Structure formats: C-alpha cells, structure tokens
Amino acid sequence: MYCVCKQHVELALDKFVDEYEDAPDMVNLKDTEFSDWDPPRKCDLCEAPAEFLVV
C-alpha cells in the first residue's frame, strides 16, 4: 500500500506491480473517508501532500 502525491502515482503503481504481481486499485484520498484509518498527510516518496492510495 502506498499513499502518494500526484507526481509519484506512476512510480507507486510500478512498485506495487513489481511487489505483488497484480494490478492495484487506486483511491483518491480527497474523495474518500475511512472510518478506522487516517491516511498519512505526506506522500510516502516525498514531502508533498498525499493525494492517492494505491492498494
């Protein structure tokens, strides 16, 4: 699972496929609320705000 900014979506997709050998789902964090989990505020790969969840 990766929480990333728009700039790093493609890299996160590539990493997910390399690791799990399956196509991930992508969730826009601005449009989705989670009842039991608060997504990180920053991208996993830089300091920009996280915008997408790749799972």
Pick from 16, 46, 48: which is nearest to 27 by CA? 16
Phi, psi of 8, deg, nearest 5: -105, 10
pTM for the model: 0.88
Task: Provide the token pair at 39.
Answer: 């997504």
Pick from 27, 18, 34, 25: which is nearest to 50 by CA? 27
Q: For residue 3, what are the CA distances in angstroms to 19, 35, 46? A: 16, 17, 10
pLDDT tens column, 1-55: 999 999 999 999 999 999 999 999 999 999 988 889 888 899 999 999 999 999 9
21: amino acid identity, one letter: E
